[in-house]
Chain A
Amino acid sequence: MKLVIAIIQPYKLEDVKQELYAANVNLITVSEVLGHGRQVGVDEYYRGVKETGNLLRKIRLEIAVNEDFVEPTIKAIIKGARTGKIGDGKIFVVDLPRCIRIRTGEEGSKAIG
């Protein structure tokens, strides 16, 4: 089992969701986060003064999958989120030792799907 964590541009969330559904990955958690990598974001103005270097709004996806779904999930995220420009985001894949479904108490692979 793996946990796929992706940081993407907020306006690409809809595209990424569609690609994940197409890859039959339906269970995702979405949160709104702040952060920045190398990119310079959209500038904001306050009474004529330009402000840069602020933390930028991003979307964080968390998707727990069985081994078979790791590559399709990664491919789907890239397909939906890539624009080719700086700021497209990153994907982290980490091992997931345990997974428990609260309602039934099921553990492991069964609990993920």
Chain B
Amino acid sequence: MGTTPANPLNNGDIAWVLTSAALVLAMTAPGLAFFYGGMVRRKNINSILMQCFMCLAIVSVLWVVVGYSLAFGPGAPGFLKGLIGGFNWAMLKNVSMSAPDPYAPTIPHQAYMIFQLMFAVITPALAIGSFAERVKFSGWVWWTVLWLLIVYCPVAHMVWSHDGIEGQWGVLDFAGGTVVHMNAGIAGLASCLYLGKRIGTNKPGMHNVPFVMLGASLLWFGWFGFNAGSAVSAGALATSAFVVTNTATAAAAISWVVMEWVFAGAPTIVGACSGAVAGLVAITPASGFVDAGGSLWIGFLVSVFCYCMVAFVKPKFGYDDTLDAFGVHYIGGLWGALATGLFAVKAVNSAGSGVFDGNPGQFLTQAKGCLLTTVYTFIMTLVICFIVDKVLGGFRATPEDEAIGIDLSQHHERAYTILD
């Protein structure tokens, strides 16, 4: 137990980070899978479960082979330095199970690697919500492989690695507001614009509302690993992140329900769940920098922005963001990233202070980071969609397959029977 100069590893920290990695895994499957799965029409739920589950498998393999090295490793050639890592840590070479991690010296390097893997898994999985109910499975597989390597790894590198340029600008992103949520949301928008609308519908099918609530609750549960785990230690900072995560989420669930009660006439479970997820998204970048007061503002306001986006702006523009991955994750992530520049206080974390803590420049720094992520990811995702569509056998399902349902047409497997 304890820390000695010769061996800085701390058993408490290791236990918490490994537990957190498992919690974040549960966010993708079953959490996100059921949250999204309940929202699609009954003929498409298997496709969502399959994509979330296989995302876990595919990204897990890619990550140990090359992904972790590209995202966090050193050794990129000169002109790419600060944008992406090299191959020094490919196949987990030099990623020790016992030596201290370069980023978090009280845990082994492999513990940090496996914790970060779970973030890489959920990010492309979140984007599934934008183009659900209309893609070929093979197209989705190619999209995920390319997107992880070409978009996720460089964006994570720019924000979180030692030499990443956004980190050097001073962008604060505790647990992935820009890297995970804005990134996935804008990728979802680019993909749904490239693919076009679904045939014959423009809203979520909502075939199983209890699944939506089950999934949202598992997301809330797993998110403690996501945010409090991002302290990569089991101390005061993790405790604070845990508290503000729960507070912001609760506030956002309440304000979404109020918004829809006022504007749509009824408080709904799906609304409460959407609000909670929006709150979780918004508090993510701020969770290691703000106190409970700041988290209440972040939570109460995020649902106002996201509700307006989903209920008023989307219908006006008419893009078919099936399950509002853009409306909730991009807008919520953007608000969270900017709000970090407003509400960060040194009393919580000496690494960052925001506008209300006497550091007016932080807001612009945050905005600069958001802009880079948005532009890079939007353009590269369109390129990836084009490559999958034209070179790798097509991205969108045929109109007939879409009508029959992705479950039967792509997987020859249905979720529900009538008899038996």
Residue numbers of A with Cβ under 8 A of B are 11-12, 14, 32-34, 42-45, 55, 57
Contact = CB atoms under 8 A, between A and B. Distances in A.
A42 B418 contact: no
B418 A34 contact: yes
Contacts of A34: 418-419
Given A44-B412, A57-B418, 14 more contacts: A11-B400, A11-B403, A11-B404, A11-B405, A12-B403, A14-B200, A33-B418, A34-B419, A42-B409, A42-B412, A43-B412, A44-B408, A44-B413, A44-B414
Interface residues of B, number: 12
Give the top 9 A-B pairs by smallest Cβ distance, nearest first. Answer: A11-B403, A45-B412, A42-B408, A11-B404, A14-B200, A44-B412, A43-B412, A34-B418, A44-B413
A14 B399 CA distance: 13
Contacts of A43: 412
Nearest to A83: B400
A32 B416 CA distance: 13
Contacts of A11: 400, 403-405
Contacts of B412: 42-45
B54 to A, nearest CB: 16
Interface in B205-247: none
Contact of B404 (A32, A33, A42, A44): A42
A49 B98 CA distance: 45
Interface string B385-420: 000000000000000100111001100111000110
A91 B272 CA distance: 45
Contacts of B419: 34, 55
B202 to A, nearest CB: 13
Contact of B418 (A14, A32, A45): A32
B208 to A, nearest CB: 16
A12 B400 CA distance: 10
A55 B414 CA distance: 13
6 contacts: A11-B403, A14-B200, A32-B418, A42-B404, A44-B414, A45-B412
A45 B413 contact: yes
Contacts of B408: 42, 44
A42 B404 CA distance: 10
